[in-house]
Structure 1
């Protein structure tokens, strides 16, 4: 009988962990301000464009199941939003970049201003409406 209780306890723990991870999927988190582009890893710094108010840097890996869906969401948002640019960086062979940015999963999207300041980040596939709303204050012609 003890084995049954242990099994039920393990199932309950896994279910709770699954629910927590699911709730965090795609959630926009405001980031602690990063100083400037000089603090960014070189491959990320090279993706910045001084003329673009917001660059969405999608960090992906070769074996990422959700990266394609995130790419679709981010590309669509960038296409229809003035002042937003989407770029993707495969960090499969760049583990130091992921470590330096504190990225623990793929995809992760980091929104950067032209100076390299981190505006926000999203773990998993972004929720388009929530991401658009969070970016609005950082865009031109915003009432934000």
Structure 2
């Protein structure tokens, strides 16, 4: 009987953990922070684009590939938007400097390096455009 209670408890904890992770997937958080950025991020920022989306990925991450396809397509179709994918598999210090705990995480930066927002997980294209409507509307 004790074994059944243990199994039931583990299942409940697993379901709750899954729900918490799923709720945070693709969530967009506005940040407005300025911090010292790693050189690989600074060199990725495009002074000609209103917003640069910097995607933090790892080699064996399936959601990273999905995010890369979505954001690349979005950047191609949207004036003033650029997408860069940084693989941090061999450079964990980049993820650590940015405070990234999971992949994919996408950060939106102004040309000056101000972080506008961050997205954990696979985002929704329309939600990204809505969140960046202000900075992208200033594109001439």
Q: Specify the TM-score bucket, using the shorter chain as the normaliser.
A: over 0.9
State the partner residue of 1:75: 72
| Cα shift readout 1:77-130 (whole Å, capped 9, x = no counterpart) | 111111100011111111000001010111110000000000001111111111
Structure 2: segments with no counterpart, 5+ residues: none
The aligned length equals: 139
Per-residue deviation at 1:140? 3.2
State the partner residue of 2:135: 138
106, 118, 121: which one aligns with 2:118: 121
Structure 1: segments with no counterpart, 5+ residues: none
State the partner residue of 1:27: 27
State the partner residue of 2:6: 6
Runs of 4+ in 1 over 4 A off after TM superposition: none
TM-score of the aligned structures, taking structure 1 as reference length:
0.92
Per-residue deviation at 1:27? 1.0
Contact 1:82 1:140 in 2 (8 A): no
Per-residue deviation at 1:55? 0.1
